[in-house]
A and B are shown apart, each in its own frame.
Chain A
Amino acid sequence: MPQFTGGTDSEGGLGIKLLPGLRSTESREDRGNMPVTGAGSAQSGGGAPPVPLTGKHANMSSGNGYNHQDPDQSLKRTHVDGAEPHALPTPISDPPIRYTKLFINNEWQDSCSGGKIPVFDPATGNQLCEVEEADQEDIDEAVRSARAAFQTGSPWRSMDASDRGQLLNTLADLVERDRRLLATLESLDSGKVFLMAYFVDLLATIKTLRYYGGWADKIHGKTIPVDGEYFTYTRHEPIGVCGQIIPWNFPLMMFAWKIAPALCCGNTVVIKPAEQTPLSALHMAALIKEAGFPPGVVNVVTGYGHTAGSAISHHMDIDKIAFTGSTAVGKLVQKAAGESNLKRVTLELGGKNPNIVFADCDLEYAVEQAHSGLFFNQGQCCLAGSRVFVEEPIYEEFVRLSVEKAKSKILGNPLLPGVDQGPQIDQKQFDKIMVLIESGKREGATLECGGSQWGQQGLFIQPTVFSNVSDEMRIAKEEIFGPVQQIMCFQSIQEVIQRANDTHYGLAAGVFTNDIDKALTVSSALQAGMVWVNCYNAMSAQCPFGGFKMSGNGRELGEYALQEYTEVKAVTIKISKKNS
């Protein structure tokens, strides 16, 4: 099995060429001259960074948001400042959209109702295609197919765990083969920057599939020394039919996060992609069939939340539901489980994540990390560091540098190289973000930059920075899910811990300091499922992800995620005489 390379050699090399362009260490001047459009930007986009990049230091910068990297990139980094033009991976022009139907039992089907969902390119507002709209009846059919695939004695249930793992590895290979196409579809459909999709989303998808491919035959039960003349062991069995509902901000990656642990543990899946971004998931369905998963193991049903999503969460024959999305909908999913069959529920929900910057930190680095911590993916991250708490002595300087950084951002068509911010996903999100920006102005925060729509068409919003934000303002309390950064001032460590925790959310947090006592005190005290110290958005498939409080329930990724997809069965056998 090939290791986690970025595809062909030329692509791998180009990845290195690309990354400096994505890194926020790059100076404003380098970026300022970068044309927003035009083929020439590919070359200038990779302009030399202001500091030499040694080892993995530059690569660790999470300007790319995620820590899924090609391991050999750092070795080739010396090529970065070379002047020779490299052919960056480019989107496929006019990519074929082959799959628009429901994928049930390894077959493509029309919806029972005949309903269709229009799919738009958020950068232009143009309609890309229509996909089938699943509702209750289609969900029932998908669940029947998943249930049949889960029957005792079925090919899937009687398959060796190692073969389940091999199927996931094969799927990873196919994703790698179609990486350019998938990244293009992802960019077109969600508006995310193509090169981000290619280097972050796709690599994370491939790595997640391989990571769980490796777990399949390593999910160990235990034998347990119970008292008395008995022998007890546990089997970690699949739960059964898993309903999975995923969001539009990382369509492919969320697809992989959901199906990989579910399949690795031997479950079957009915997955509903977001209605805004169905295309990459449907392509994955085709790859799942091609890889050789038996019919019914994975069913992909495109539809709306209030119909198809609700049907999944209320279904009496779905054994587990995993939902990623808003806290408001998470509550509905939890209630639906209570109203129906008490299906197991895991939730990955919203956040209003504190990012705490102490005066003793490396200021420029912290500014850059806080910037990418918020603006990555057009600010559409549940992890976004949307409450930046900065210690008083460096507050003004931090705000000044952050504004500079925000102003240097290049907006434009996400398929074009050099662009680092695309459009928001849809009109509804766009409007919501604009309303929150208005509320920030009205409630007395200082608008340092941005604050308005950008360009003549598409759903672009100027990178926006607010300073003098106080904790009770809406922009400090509500999840904005857009390119709007809030910077607050704090004075003492006790104060900032208390303020950081004063929220219903508890997803992620960051702390920047060179003082190990502060780092340990703050990271221990924060109520959050992930704490990053001197970094932000550093994630990988090995590392668990999930929320405290109303940011969710359960963990994805890492070994921990396996617990969410298994039922533990304790088997106790009478024996005649035990010996230790």
Chain B
Amino acid sequence: MLRTVISRTLPGLSSHLSACHFSAAAIPAPSTQPEVHFNKLFINNEWQNAVSGKTFHTINPATGEVICEVAEADAADVNKAVKAASDAFRLGSPWRRMDASHRGLLLFRLADAIERDSAYLAELETLDNGKPYAVAYSVDLPNVVKCLRYYAGWADKWEGKTIPIDGDFFCYTRHEPIGVCGQIIPWNFPLLMQAWKLGPALATGNTVVMKVAEQTPLTALYVANLIKEVGFPEGVVNILPGMGPSAGAAIAGHMDVDKVAFTGSTEVGHLIQQASGSSNLKKVTLELGGKSPNIILSDADLADAVEQSHFALFFNQGQCCCAGSRTYVQADIYDEFVERSVERAKRRVVGNPFDLKTEQGPQVDQEQFNKILGYISSGKREGAKLMCGGGVAADRGYFIQPTVFGDVQDNMTIAREEIFGPVMQILKFKDLEEVVTRANDSKYGLAAAVFTKDIDKANYVSNGLRAGTVWINCYDVFGVQAPFGGYKASGNGRELGEYGLENYTEVKTVTMKVPQKNS
């Protein structure tokens, strides 16, 4: 993901290199044992134990060892956090009274603080999540900083309109914050997802109760401390580590949470939307799963397409909602494409995520590890051709070999369900109409890509695909300026870009009687 950052951070790299070929010189040597400073709930700018007193383990997925205990929020703690966030949102509060430009300034300062501590945060992210340190440092952290700075700039530019309605009236709109926003984020990009959620919510003046994934709570808690350090008022951001069925459900069903934003599985997305309907009709935005088609036409630059498709799937241990997990290759280049993809996958360096040469670390936990191995078995059982990998890659930790399946058919489980692991499916197609139909034959509609030199084909395919993001001759290019979100069951609403502001705003129309209007 985020190739742009790589090329800017490491300008010597050719754009044809994979995201994971880093020059060690540009990256500070990591401490492999970063100290954990914060493991409690962050409510009202204070560190608190859970009301129940419960804690849970967070695990280093490279070793399976416990890193530390973390306070476990449940409904009682969610209530406290929502109370704090509601108080911070009260009319006349410091946060509501603050100049929009000052909200922006606070976000800028938060970005600065994260930038200052980015080596430490990258270490902590790698320890807790298992992603290669080189990626955490060069991709996740710079993009967190960019995201916060981008939305900081929006804070005083989110303009309402004045509207020429009929009659002797003056009409304008105010773009007001929605109120208390519940935000539930996943474990695959813990820091980045936190920034994607906080940036637009705070720029538009909301308050936040955020539940971080139980697999990866540590970096979010460190950022909580930075939020306090840079001067956000009490209660504006509250951060709760906890489990989905308890803390997450309490947020989704809460009567005083005005909006919920969830990133995670489509299965849980369904529950969130239902919880809104059962409670107070809170606004819902969802960023969910995908089974994103990556379409390679025979006129594409083959070497580049192979490398990009490899990256599209294997980046972040395959743990991306936008992973290019259905690689459709045109028949006349299919065999060569498969051969080269297998060769590339076999070269992928799997190992200790703190080693700067490592391209692929462990999967996040035992549950995901087991699920992925189950999908690999189903692929073999249903008749796909296992071209490489398919097994466990180390005797401890949750490492899986880079795996490539050829001769995959659309009806196979591995071609329909989200695997969320380092398992690539390569499918064959003959003509454009066929591949667009097959690509769209999915309940998902998150991302898609097409590789071709032909502008008519590029336009035909990119227009015909039912997906919120389409990449042409590239993959996983994320600019904070460009919206991201899904069609169909991949979600609802858009994050990033100006579009991301809409999901954190209530529009108020104010119409005033005037004695006489003039144009």
**Chain A residues proximal to chain B, CB less than 8 Å:** 55-57, 59-60, 67-69, 71, 152, 207, 222, 224-230, 232, 234-235, 319, 327, 330-339, 341-342, 344-345, 347, 349, 497, 504, 519, 523-525, 528-535, 538, 540, 542-546, 548-550, 552-553, 555, 558-560, 563, 567-574
Q: Across the interface, which residues of B come within 8 angstroms of A542, CB to CB?
A: 163-166, 171
Find the residue from B3, B277, B462, B511 having the highest chain A CB count within 10 A. Answer: B511
List A contacts of B506 (CB < 8 A). Answer: 529, 548
A549 surroundings in chain B (CB, below 8 A): 258, 280-281
Say whether B15 faces chain A, with CB atoms less than 8 Å apart. yes
B483: Cβ under 8 A from any A Cβ: yes
Query: Which single member of A207, A334, A531 contacts B276 (CB below 8 Å)?
Result: A334
Interface positions, chain B 417-437, Cβ under 8 Å from A, are 436
Nearest CB on B from A267, distance (A): 13
Contact B508 A531, beta carbon cutoff 8 Å = yes
Known A334-B273, A529-B506, A545-B509; 17 more pairs at CB < 8 Å:
A228-B8, A335-B277, A337-B273, A338-B274, A342-B270, A342-B273, A345-B273, A347-B281, A531-B509, A532-B510, A535-B511, A546-B507, A549-B281, A563-B502, A567-B468, A568-B494, A570-B482
Q: Cβ of A331 and Cβ of B277 under 8 Å apart?
A: yes
The proximity string for B residues 492-513 relative to A, scoring 1 for CB distances below 8 Å and 0 otherwise, is 1010011100100011111111
Who on chain B is nearest to A516 by CB? B512
Q: Cβ of A338 and Cβ of B512 under 8 Å apart?
A: no
Residues of B within 8 A of A524 (CB): 174
- Contact A571:B510 (CB < 8 A) given known A319-B488, A344-B492: no
Interface-facing stretch out of B122-130, B198-206, B389-397, B470-478: B470-478
List, in ascending order, chain B residues with CB within 8 A of A545's CB. Answer: 509
Chain A residues within 8 Å of B273, by CB: 334-335, 337-338, 342, 345
Q: Please give the distance in Å from B114's CB to the nearest CB on chain A.
A: 18
B379 within 8 A of A: no
Chain B residue nearest to A510 (CB atoms) is B511
Are A553 and B281 in contact, with the CB atoms below 8 A?
yes
> Distance (Å) between the CB of B257 and the closest chain A CB?
11
What is the CB-to-nearest-CB distance from A150 to chain B, in angstroms, rounded to a whole number? 11
Please judge, given known A-B contacts A560-B507, A572-B482, whether A335 and B278 are in contact too, CB under 8 Å.
yes
Assess the A531–B4 pair: CB atoms within 8 A: no
B interface list, Cβ under 8 A from A:
3-5, 7-8, 15, 91, 146, 161, 163-169, 171, 173-174, 258, 266, 269-278, 280-281, 283-284, 286, 288, 436, 443, 458, 462-464, 467-474, 477, 479, 481-485, 487-489, 491-492, 494, 497-499, 502, 506-513, 515-517
Q: Which residue of A lies closest to B272 (CB)?
A: A338
Chain A min CB distance to B84 (Å): 19
Could you list 11 A-B pairs, sorted by A, with CB under 8 Å? A55-B516, A335-B277, A338-B275, A528-B508, A529-B507, A532-B512, A538-B165, A549-B280, A558-B509, A567-B487, A573-B473
Residues A226 and B482 in contact in the complex (CB < 8 Å), given A57-B515, A338-B272, A523-B510? yes
A365 to chain B, nearest CB (A): 9
Closest to B6 in A: A228
Give the chain A neighbours of B499 by CB distance below 8 A: 234, 568
Q: Is the CB of B509 within 8 A of A529?
A: yes
- Taken together as a complex, chains A and B put the C-alpha atoms of A341 and B470 apart, in Å, by 22
Chain A contacts of B166 at CB under 8 A? 67-69, 71, 207, 540, 542
**Which of chain A's residues have a CB closer than 8 A to the CB of B469?**
569-572
A555 and B507 contact, CB distance less than 8 A: yes
Contact partners of B515 in chain A: CB under 8 A: 57
Please name all residues of chain A whose beta carbon is closer than 8 Å to the beta carbon of B492 when the two chains form the complex. 342, 344
Residue A574 contacts which of B467, B473, B508 (CB distance < 8 angstroms)? B473
Are the C-beta atoms of B165 and A543 separated by less than 8 Å? yes
How many Å lie between the Cα of A309 and that of B141 in the bound state? 48
Chain A hits for B274, CB < 8 A: 334-335, 338-339
The 5 closest A-B pairs by CB, nearest first: A226-B479, A338-B273, A228-B4, A334-B277, A335-B277
A338→B252 CA distance, assembly (Å): 12
